[in-house]
Amino acid sequence: MIKGKLQIELKDEKTGRIERHEEENMVTNAVANLLGLGAISCFYTNMLKELIPISQKALGGIFLFDGALEEDADNTHFPMDVHLTGCAGRVANGSSKLIGSFNAAESGRTDTGYTSVWDFSTSQANGTIAALSLTNYKCGENPFHNTVYMESSISLSKSYITIGNDPVKGIGYFYYEGKIYEKRIFSNIIRVNSPDFGEEKVVFDFEFTNPSYSYWAVFNGYDGYIYAVYCRGNSDPKDTTVRVRRVKISDYSFAEESELVFTLEKITCPSTGPYNFYLETRYAVSKGYLYIGSYDYKTLYKVNLSNTADVKALTFDDARVTYIYPKYNGGVYARFEWDGLSTTGSKTTFYSPGWIYPDDKYRYKEDYTQGMNSTYYYTALEGEKLNIFPTQSNTLFYAYTRNYLGTICNLSSPVVKTSAQSMKITYTLTDV
Protein backbone atom coordinates (compact mmCIF):
# COMPACT_ATOMS: atom_id res chain seq x y z
CA MET A 1 0.00 0.00 0.00
CA ILE A 2 1.25 3.48 -0.86
CA LYS A 3 0.81 6.54 1.34
CA GLY A 4 1.49 10.11 0.30
CA LYS A 5 2.40 13.28 2.19
CA LEU A 6 2.33 16.73 0.62
CA GLN A 7 3.99 20.01 1.54
CA ILE A 8 3.38 23.32 -0.24
CA GLU A 9 5.71 26.26 0.35
CA LEU A 10 4.69 29.69 -0.93
CA LYS A 11 7.50 32.23 -0.76
CA ASP A 12 6.98 35.98 -1.11
CA GLU A 13 9.90 37.00 -3.28
CA LYS A 14 9.94 40.58 -1.90
CA THR A 15 9.66 39.92 1.83
CA GLY A 16 11.05 36.39 2.00
CA ARG A 17 8.03 35.26 4.03
CA ILE A 18 7.27 31.54 3.62
CA GLU A 19 3.79 30.07 4.02
CA ARG A 20 3.64 26.28 4.50
CA HIS A 21 0.79 23.82 4.13
CA GLU A 22 0.94 20.08 4.81
CA GLU A 23 -1.58 17.36 3.96
CA GLU A 24 -1.86 13.61 3.52
CA ASN A 25 -3.60 12.03 0.57
CA MET A 26 -5.39 8.94 -0.64
CA VAL A 27 -4.30 6.73 -3.53
CA THR A 28 -6.87 5.90 -6.23
CA ASN A 29 -7.25 2.70 -8.22
CA ALA A 30 -5.85 4.24 -11.39
CA VAL A 31 -2.42 2.64 -11.37
CA ALA A 32 -3.70 -0.65 -9.94
CA ASN A 33 -6.18 -0.86 -12.82
CA LEU A 34 -3.35 -0.50 -15.30
CA LEU A 35 -0.94 -2.90 -13.62
CA GLY A 36 -3.46 -5.54 -12.51
CA LEU A 37 -5.70 -7.95 -14.34
CA GLY A 38 -7.66 -5.05 -15.81
CA ALA A 39 -4.60 -3.81 -17.69
CA ILE A 40 -5.42 -2.96 -21.27
CA SER A 41 -2.33 -3.85 -23.18
CA CYS A 42 -1.73 -7.15 -24.90
CA PHE A 43 1.96 -6.17 -24.95
CA TYR A 44 2.32 -5.75 -21.22
CA THR A 45 6.06 -5.14 -21.15
CA ASN A 46 5.83 -2.04 -23.36
CA MET A 47 3.19 -0.51 -21.11
CA LEU A 48 5.35 -1.06 -18.06
CA LYS A 49 8.00 1.23 -19.54
CA GLU A 50 5.55 4.12 -19.21
CA LEU A 51 4.48 3.20 -15.66
CA ILE A 52 7.51 1.86 -13.80
CA PRO A 53 9.17 2.98 -11.56
CA ILE A 54 5.76 3.99 -10.22
CA SER A 55 7.01 6.95 -8.17
CA GLN A 56 8.81 8.46 -11.15
CA LYS A 57 6.50 7.52 -14.04
CA ALA A 58 3.00 6.30 -13.12
CA LEU A 59 2.90 8.89 -10.30
CA GLY A 60 5.67 11.12 -11.63
CA GLY A 61 3.53 14.11 -12.62
CA ILE A 62 1.28 16.44 -10.68
CA PHE A 63 -1.97 18.36 -11.29
CA LEU A 64 -3.16 21.39 -9.30
CA PHE A 65 -6.90 22.19 -9.28
CA ASP A 66 -8.96 25.14 -8.09
CA GLY A 67 -11.70 23.00 -6.49
CA ALA A 68 -12.05 19.91 -4.33
CA LEU A 69 -11.96 16.40 -5.81
CA GLU A 70 -14.31 13.61 -4.79
CA GLU A 71 -12.36 11.35 -2.44
CA ASP A 72 -13.19 8.02 -4.03
CA ALA A 73 -10.70 5.36 -5.08
CA ASP A 74 -12.56 4.95 -8.38
CA ASN A 75 -12.42 8.68 -9.13
CA THR A 76 -9.67 8.34 -11.73
CA HIS A 77 -10.81 10.36 -14.75
CA PHE A 78 -9.53 13.88 -15.33
CA PRO A 79 -12.10 16.20 -13.69
CA MET A 80 -14.06 18.83 -15.61
CA ASP A 81 -16.03 20.30 -12.70
CA VAL A 82 -12.86 21.99 -11.40
CA HIS A 83 -10.17 23.85 -13.36
CA LEU A 84 -6.50 23.10 -13.85
CA THR A 85 -4.40 25.74 -12.07
CA GLY A 86 -0.99 24.22 -12.76
CA CYS A 87 0.93 21.02 -13.43
CA ALA A 88 4.44 19.58 -13.76
CA GLY A 89 6.25 16.43 -14.84
CA ARG A 90 9.90 15.35 -14.83
CA VAL A 91 11.41 18.16 -16.89
CA ALA A 92 12.21 21.84 -16.33
CA ASN A 93 9.93 24.44 -17.88
CA GLY A 94 10.70 28.11 -17.45
CA SER A 95 8.47 29.49 -20.20
CA SER A 96 4.99 28.15 -19.47
CA LYS A 97 2.50 30.03 -17.29
CA LEU A 98 0.96 26.71 -16.33
CA ILE A 99 3.68 24.04 -16.20
CA GLY A 100 6.31 24.11 -13.47
CA SER A 101 9.74 22.47 -13.25
CA PHE A 102 10.95 19.22 -11.75
CA ASN A 103 13.61 19.77 -9.09
CA ALA A 104 15.97 16.83 -9.67
CA ALA A 105 18.49 18.03 -7.07
CA GLU A 106 16.01 17.75 -4.18
CA SER A 107 14.13 14.69 -5.46
CA GLY A 108 15.13 11.08 -4.92
CA ARG A 109 14.74 7.89 -2.97
CA THR A 110 14.15 7.80 0.76
CA ASP A 111 14.54 4.87 3.16
CA THR A 112 10.89 3.97 2.72
CA GLY A 113 9.87 5.52 -0.58
CA TYR A 114 10.48 8.43 -2.92
CA THR A 115 10.25 12.24 -2.77
CA SER A 116 9.40 14.39 -5.79
CA VAL A 117 9.92 18.15 -5.70
CA TRP A 118 8.52 20.70 -8.17
CA ASP A 119 9.23 24.42 -8.40
CA PHE A 120 6.91 27.08 -9.79
CA SER A 121 8.08 30.62 -10.52
CA THR A 122 6.14 33.80 -9.77
CA SER A 123 4.52 33.63 -13.21
CA GLN A 124 3.48 29.97 -13.03
CA ALA A 125 0.35 28.28 -11.60
CA ASN A 126 -1.11 31.50 -10.23
CA GLY A 127 -4.60 31.24 -8.80
CA THR A 128 -6.54 29.10 -6.35
CA ILE A 129 -5.18 25.70 -5.35
CA ALA A 130 -7.70 23.54 -3.54
CA ALA A 131 -6.67 20.02 -4.55
CA LEU A 132 -3.68 18.18 -6.00
CA SER A 133 -3.26 14.84 -7.71
CA LEU A 134 -0.30 12.80 -8.85
CA THR A 135 -0.59 11.57 -12.42
CA ASN A 136 1.52 10.09 -15.20
CA TYR A 137 4.75 12.01 -15.72
CA LYS A 138 4.02 12.65 -19.40
CA CYS A 139 0.72 14.34 -18.67
CA GLY A 140 2.29 16.41 -15.95
CA GLU A 141 4.79 17.70 -18.50
CA ASN A 142 2.05 18.46 -21.03
CA PRO A 143 -1.54 17.77 -19.96
CA PHE A 144 -2.92 18.61 -23.41
CA HIS A 145 -0.69 16.69 -25.80
CA ASN A 146 0.17 13.53 -23.87
CA THR A 147 -3.26 12.32 -22.80
CA VAL A 148 -3.07 9.02 -24.67
CA TYR A 149 -0.43 6.30 -24.71
CA MET A 150 -0.69 4.05 -27.76
CA GLU A 151 0.21 0.49 -26.93
CA SER A 152 -0.47 -2.05 -29.65
CA SER A 153 -2.67 -2.50 -32.68
CA ILE A 154 -4.82 -5.02 -34.51
CA SER A 155 -5.77 -4.89 -38.19
CA LEU A 156 -9.49 -4.76 -38.92
CA SER A 157 -11.61 -5.37 -42.00
CA LYS A 158 -13.26 -1.92 -41.82
CA SER A 159 -12.46 1.57 -40.56
CA TYR A 160 -14.52 1.14 -37.42
CA ILE A 161 -15.01 4.01 -35.01
CA THR A 162 -15.16 2.96 -31.37
CA ILE A 163 -18.23 4.28 -29.55
CA GLY A 164 -18.58 2.02 -26.54
CA ASN A 165 -17.12 -0.81 -24.51
CA ASP A 166 -18.70 -3.24 -22.05
CA PRO A 167 -15.68 -4.44 -20.02
CA VAL A 168 -17.77 -6.88 -17.98
CA LYS A 169 -19.05 -8.82 -20.99
CA GLY A 170 -15.92 -8.17 -23.02
CA ILE A 171 -17.81 -6.57 -25.92
CA GLY A 172 -16.86 -3.53 -27.97
CA TYR A 173 -19.31 -1.43 -29.97
CA PHE A 174 -18.13 0.10 -33.23
CA TYR A 175 -19.64 2.47 -35.78
CA TYR A 176 -19.15 2.14 -39.52
CA GLU A 177 -21.16 3.73 -42.36
CA GLY A 178 -24.45 4.14 -40.56
CA LYS A 179 -24.42 0.93 -38.52
CA ILE A 180 -23.32 -0.01 -35.01
CA TYR A 181 -21.55 -3.36 -34.71
CA GLU A 182 -20.98 -5.58 -31.70
CA LYS A 183 -17.70 -7.49 -31.55
CA ARG A 184 -16.12 -9.58 -28.84
CA ILE A 185 -13.06 -7.82 -27.46
CA PHE A 186 -11.10 -8.46 -24.28
CA SER A 187 -9.64 -5.64 -22.21
CA ASN A 188 -8.42 -8.21 -19.70
CA ILE A 189 -5.12 -9.67 -20.87
CA ILE A 190 -5.68 -13.07 -19.23
CA ARG A 191 -8.27 -14.60 -21.55
CA VAL A 192 -7.81 -17.70 -23.69
CA ASN A 193 -8.50 -15.92 -26.98
CA SER A 194 -7.29 -12.43 -26.04
CA PRO A 195 -6.92 -10.19 -27.96
CA ASP A 196 -8.85 -11.83 -30.82
CA PHE A 197 -12.17 -10.45 -32.04
CA GLY A 198 -15.33 -12.48 -32.28
CA GLU A 199 -17.73 -12.36 -35.22
CA GLU A 200 -19.37 -9.00 -35.77
CA LYS A 201 -23.09 -8.44 -35.37
CA VAL A 202 -25.16 -5.40 -36.35
CA VAL A 203 -26.99 -4.17 -33.25
CA PHE A 204 -28.34 -0.90 -34.68
CA ASP A 205 -28.86 0.60 -38.12
CA PHE A 206 -29.44 4.35 -38.42
CA GLU A 207 -30.90 3.76 -41.90
CA PHE A 208 -29.66 7.12 -43.11
CA THR A 209 -31.44 7.88 -46.39
CA ASN A 210 -32.03 11.58 -47.00
CA PRO A 211 -29.76 13.33 -46.21
CA SER A 212 -27.19 10.59 -46.75
CA TYR A 213 -25.14 9.27 -43.85
CA SER A 214 -22.08 11.22 -45.04
CA TYR A 215 -23.57 14.43 -43.62
CA TRP A 216 -24.20 12.98 -40.18
CA ALA A 217 -21.69 13.00 -37.31
CA VAL A 218 -21.99 10.06 -34.89
CA PHE A 219 -20.34 9.90 -31.47
CA ASN A 220 -20.73 8.94 -27.81
CA GLY A 221 -22.10 11.79 -25.68
CA TYR A 222 -20.88 10.23 -22.40
CA ASP A 223 -24.34 10.57 -20.87
CA GLY A 224 -25.59 7.09 -21.69
CA TYR A 225 -26.43 7.90 -25.31
CA ILE A 226 -24.95 7.81 -28.79
CA TYR A 227 -25.82 10.83 -30.91
CA ALA A 228 -26.14 11.41 -34.63
CA VAL A 229 -26.12 15.10 -35.61
CA TYR A 230 -26.93 16.68 -38.95
CA CYS A 231 -26.49 20.30 -40.00
CA ARG A 232 -26.23 21.37 -43.63
CA GLY A 233 -23.28 23.74 -43.89
CA ASN A 234 -23.56 27.43 -44.72
CA SER A 235 -21.00 30.24 -44.78
CA ASP A 236 -23.36 33.17 -44.15
CA PRO A 237 -25.36 33.83 -40.96
CA LYS A 238 -28.82 32.38 -41.48
CA ASP A 239 -31.47 30.32 -39.74
CA THR A 240 -30.21 26.75 -39.81
CA THR A 241 -32.05 23.49 -39.16
CA VAL A 242 -30.31 20.96 -36.94
CA ARG A 243 -31.35 17.35 -36.44
CA VAL A 244 -30.22 15.27 -33.46
CA ARG A 245 -30.95 11.56 -33.03
CA ARG A 246 -30.31 9.88 -29.69
CA VAL A 247 -29.75 6.14 -29.15
CA LYS A 248 -29.50 4.60 -25.68
CA ILE A 249 -26.26 2.81 -24.87
CA SER A 250 -26.22 2.85 -21.05
CA ASP A 251 -27.97 -0.52 -20.97
CA TYR A 252 -26.76 -1.56 -24.47
CA SER A 253 -30.37 -1.81 -25.62
CA PHE A 254 -29.78 0.65 -28.51
CA ALA A 255 -33.31 1.95 -28.21
CA GLU A 256 -33.75 5.15 -30.23
CA GLU A 257 -35.62 8.02 -28.65
CA SER A 258 -37.52 10.78 -30.46
CA GLU A 259 -35.51 12.84 -32.92
CA LEU A 260 -34.89 16.50 -32.09
CA VAL A 261 -35.37 18.96 -34.93
CA PHE A 262 -34.80 22.64 -34.18
CA THR A 263 -33.62 25.87 -35.73
CA LEU A 264 -30.62 27.92 -34.67
CA GLU A 265 -31.08 31.55 -35.60
CA LYS A 266 -28.55 33.39 -37.73
CA ILE A 267 -25.54 31.12 -37.35
CA THR A 268 -22.84 29.96 -39.69
CA CYS A 269 -22.61 26.18 -39.71
CA PRO A 270 -19.90 23.88 -41.10
CA SER A 271 -20.57 20.70 -43.00
CA THR A 272 -19.23 17.55 -41.42
CA GLY A 273 -18.96 13.87 -42.10
CA PRO A 274 -18.86 10.54 -40.26
CA TYR A 275 -17.08 10.77 -36.95
CA ASN A 276 -13.55 9.44 -37.56
CA PHE A 277 -9.92 10.32 -37.21
CA TYR A 278 -9.28 11.61 -40.71
CA LEU A 279 -12.40 13.70 -41.18
CA GLU A 280 -12.36 15.74 -38.00
CA THR A 281 -15.68 16.72 -36.51
CA ARG A 282 -16.95 20.25 -35.97
CA TYR A 283 -19.90 18.98 -33.91
CA ALA A 284 -20.00 17.24 -30.55
CA VAL A 285 -22.60 16.31 -27.97
CA SER A 286 -21.28 16.11 -24.42
CA LYS A 287 -23.39 15.50 -21.32
CA GLY A 288 -26.57 16.78 -22.92
CA TYR A 289 -25.12 19.80 -24.73
CA LEU A 290 -24.58 20.16 -28.45
CA TYR A 291 -21.48 22.10 -29.52
CA ILE A 292 -21.35 23.42 -33.10
CA GLY A 293 -18.40 25.37 -34.46
CA SER A 294 -19.00 28.30 -36.77
CA TYR A 295 -17.90 28.30 -40.38
CA ASP A 296 -15.04 30.75 -39.67
CA TYR A 297 -13.92 28.91 -36.47
CA LYS A 298 -14.31 32.07 -34.36
CA THR A 299 -17.49 31.03 -32.51
CA LEU A 300 -18.61 27.83 -30.85
CA TYR A 301 -22.36 27.53 -30.30
CA LYS A 302 -23.46 25.57 -27.24
CA VAL A 303 -27.06 24.28 -27.27
CA ASN A 304 -28.88 22.80 -24.27
CA LEU A 305 -30.66 19.77 -25.73
CA SER A 306 -33.18 19.87 -22.87
CA ASN A 307 -34.15 23.38 -23.97
CA THR A 308 -32.95 24.15 -27.50
CA ALA A 309 -33.83 27.83 -27.05
CA ASP A 310 -30.94 27.99 -24.57
CA VAL A 311 -28.02 28.77 -26.90
CA LYS A 312 -24.68 30.35 -25.99
CA ALA A 313 -22.12 31.75 -28.42
CA LEU A 314 -18.64 31.03 -27.02
CA THR A 315 -15.54 32.93 -28.13
CA PHE A 316 -11.91 32.49 -27.10
CA ASP A 317 -10.14 35.86 -27.18
CA ASP A 318 -7.64 35.77 -30.06
CA ALA A 319 -7.84 32.00 -30.54
CA ARG A 320 -9.99 29.99 -32.92
CA VAL A 321 -11.43 26.53 -32.29
CA THR A 322 -11.16 24.32 -35.33
CA TYR A 323 -12.18 20.80 -34.25
CA ILE A 324 -13.94 19.45 -31.17
CA TYR A 325 -14.56 16.04 -29.60
CA PRO A 326 -16.75 15.02 -26.63
CA LYS A 327 -15.01 14.62 -23.27
CA TYR A 328 -15.85 11.95 -20.72
CA ASN A 329 -16.55 14.25 -17.76
CA GLY A 330 -18.34 16.96 -19.75
CA GLY A 331 -17.19 19.74 -22.01
CA VAL A 332 -15.10 19.02 -25.10
CA TYR A 333 -11.59 18.46 -26.30
CA ALA A 334 -10.70 21.18 -28.78
CA ARG A 335 -7.97 22.16 -31.18
CA PHE A 336 -7.08 25.82 -30.70
CA GLU A 337 -5.14 27.90 -33.19
CA TRP A 338 -3.92 31.48 -33.18
CA ASP A 339 -1.64 33.77 -35.16
CA GLY A 340 1.74 34.94 -33.90
CA LEU A 341 5.39 35.38 -34.78
CA SER A 342 7.97 32.63 -34.99
CA THR A 343 11.41 32.86 -33.42
CA THR A 344 12.65 34.35 -36.69
CA GLY A 345 9.92 36.99 -36.71
CA SER A 346 7.75 35.54 -39.50
CA LYS A 347 3.98 35.28 -39.18
CA THR A 348 2.99 31.81 -38.02
CA THR A 349 -0.18 29.96 -37.09
CA PHE A 350 0.25 28.10 -33.82
CA TYR A 351 -1.78 25.12 -32.66
CA SER A 352 -2.52 23.55 -29.30
CA PRO A 353 -4.89 20.90 -28.05
CA GLY A 354 -6.94 21.93 -25.04
CA TRP A 355 -10.41 21.66 -23.62
CA ILE A 356 -13.52 23.71 -22.98
CA TYR A 357 -15.05 23.12 -19.56
CA PRO A 358 -18.80 22.61 -18.98
CA ASP A 359 -18.92 26.10 -17.41
CA ASP A 360 -17.47 27.51 -20.69
CA LYS A 361 -14.02 28.34 -19.34
CA TYR A 362 -11.18 26.93 -21.41
CA ARG A 363 -7.52 25.93 -21.23
CA TYR A 364 -4.82 25.32 -23.80
CA LYS A 365 -1.05 25.60 -23.82
CA GLU A 366 -0.53 29.28 -24.56
CA ASP A 367 3.19 28.92 -25.30
CA TYR A 368 2.77 26.05 -27.74
CA THR A 369 4.93 26.52 -30.83
CA GLN A 370 4.35 23.43 -32.94
CA GLY A 371 1.67 22.33 -35.35
CA MET A 372 -0.65 19.54 -34.33
CA ASN A 373 -1.26 16.90 -36.95
CA SER A 374 -2.00 13.74 -34.98
CA THR A 375 -5.68 14.37 -34.41
CA TYR A 376 -6.46 10.85 -33.26
CA TYR A 377 -4.74 11.61 -29.96
CA TYR A 378 -7.67 13.87 -29.08
CA THR A 379 -10.52 11.84 -30.49
CA ALA A 380 -9.73 8.77 -28.43
CA LEU A 381 -12.64 7.24 -26.56
CA GLU A 382 -12.43 7.48 -22.78
CA GLY A 383 -14.16 4.51 -21.24
CA GLU A 384 -14.43 2.48 -18.08
CA LYS A 385 -11.36 2.16 -15.82
CA LEU A 386 -9.15 4.22 -18.13
CA ASN A 387 -9.75 1.85 -21.06
CA ILE A 388 -9.92 3.34 -24.54
CA PHE A 389 -10.01 1.72 -27.95
CA PRO A 390 -9.40 4.41 -30.58
CA THR A 391 -9.31 3.45 -34.22
CA GLN A 392 -7.42 4.91 -37.14
CA SER A 393 -7.96 3.70 -40.69
CA ASN A 394 -8.42 -0.10 -40.56
CA THR A 395 -6.54 -0.45 -37.29
CA LEU A 396 -7.62 -0.71 -33.67
CA PHE A 397 -5.14 0.53 -31.10
CA TYR A 398 -4.99 -0.67 -27.53
CA ALA A 399 -4.22 2.37 -25.41
CA TYR A 400 -4.89 4.10 -22.12
CA THR A 401 -5.49 7.64 -20.97
CA ARG A 402 -2.53 9.13 -19.12
CA ASN A 403 -4.25 12.12 -17.52
CA TYR A 404 -5.66 9.99 -14.71
CA LEU A 405 -5.92 10.92 -11.03
CA GLY A 406 -3.40 8.64 -9.32
CA THR A 407 -3.81 10.24 -5.90
CA ILE A 408 -6.28 12.73 -4.43
CA CYS A 409 -5.27 15.38 -1.91
CA ASN A 410 -7.82 18.02 -0.92
CA LEU A 411 -6.33 20.88 1.08
CA SER A 412 -7.93 21.70 4.44
CA SER A 413 -8.22 25.27 3.19
CA PRO A 414 -7.58 26.39 -0.40
CA VAL A 415 -4.51 28.56 -0.96
CA VAL A 416 -4.09 31.34 -3.49
CA LYS A 417 -0.76 31.72 -5.26
CA THR A 418 -0.06 35.22 -6.57
CA SER A 419 2.50 36.70 -8.96
CA ALA A 420 4.48 37.88 -5.92
CA GLN A 421 5.11 34.28 -4.82
CA SER A 422 7.18 31.36 -5.97
CA MET A 423 6.08 27.88 -4.92
CA LYS A 424 7.71 24.58 -4.03
CA ILE A 425 5.72 21.38 -3.82
CA THR A 426 7.24 18.37 -2.06
CA TYR A 427 5.38 15.09 -2.44
CA THR A 428 6.70 12.05 -0.53
CA LEU A 429 5.40 8.56 -1.29
CA THR A 430 6.05 5.75 1.17
CA ASP A 431 5.20 2.07 1.40
CA VAL A 432 3.13 1.17 4.45
Q: Which residue has the higher pLDDT, 153 or 364?
A: 364
Do both 80 and 181 map to the same domain? no
Do both 344 and 426 map to the same domain? no
* DSSP annotation string for 165-203: EETTTTEEEEEETTEEEEEE--SSS-STTTT-----EEE
Q: What's the pLDDT score for residue 398?
A: 66
- Is the separation of the CB atoms in 107 and 115 below 8 Å? yes
Across the chain, mean pLDDT equals 84
Do both 343 and 253 map to the same domain? yes
Do both 320 and 233 map to the same domain? yes
Do both 389 and 412 map to the same domain? no
Give the CA distances from residue 393 to residues 162, 205, 323, in Å, rounded to whole numbers and listed in that order.
12, 21, 19
Report residue 69's pLDDT band, with 50, 70 and 90 as the boundaries. Answer: very high
Q: What's the pLDDT score for residue 67?
A: 98
Q: Nearest Cα to 244, choosing from 294, 277, 206, 278?
A: 206
Kindly report, residue by residue over 367-394, the tens digit of the pLDDT: 665 544 444 444 444 554 445 455 556 7
The average pLDDT across 46-62 equals: 89
Do both 184 and 238 map to the same domain? yes
In the chain, the number of structural domains is 2
Q: Which residue has the higher pLDDT, 288 or 45?
A: 288
Single pTM value for the model: 0.90
What CATH number did the domain enclosing 275 receive?
2.120.10
Q: Which residue has the higher pLDDT, 198 or 248?
A: 248
Do both 286 and 322 map to the same domain? yes
Do both 179 and 50 map to the same domain? no
Q: What's the pLDDT score for residue 42?
A: 46
Residue 148 inside a domain? The answer is no
Q: What's the pLDDT score for residue 373?
A: 45
Kindly report, residue by residue over 119-129, the tens digit of the pLDDT: 999 999 999 99
Do both 164 and 311 map to the same domain? yes
- Is the separation of the CB atoms in 320 and 352 below 8 Å? no
Q: What's the pLDDT score for residue 38?
A: 44
Do both 298 and 347 map to the same domain? yes
Q: What's the pLDDT score for residue 63?
A: 98
Q: Which residue has the higher pLDDT, 386 or 187?
A: 187
- Is the separation of the CB atoms in 91 and 61 below 8 Å? no
Do both 373 and 235 map to the same domain? yes
Q: What's the pLDDT score for residue 366?
A: 74
Kindly report, residue by residue over 200-213, the tens digit of the pLDDT: 899 999 998 766 66
Do both 48 and 136 map to the same domain? yes
The average pLDDT across 310-328 equals: 90
Is the predicted pLDDT of residue 196 greater than 80, yes or no?
A: no
Domain residue limits at 425: 2-143+405-431
Best mean pLDDT range from 93-97, 370-374, 410-414: 410-414
CB atoms within 10 A of CB 192: 6
Cα 415 to chain centroid distance, Å, stands at: 26
Residue 274 inside a domain? The answer is yes
Residue 158 inside a domain? The answer is yes
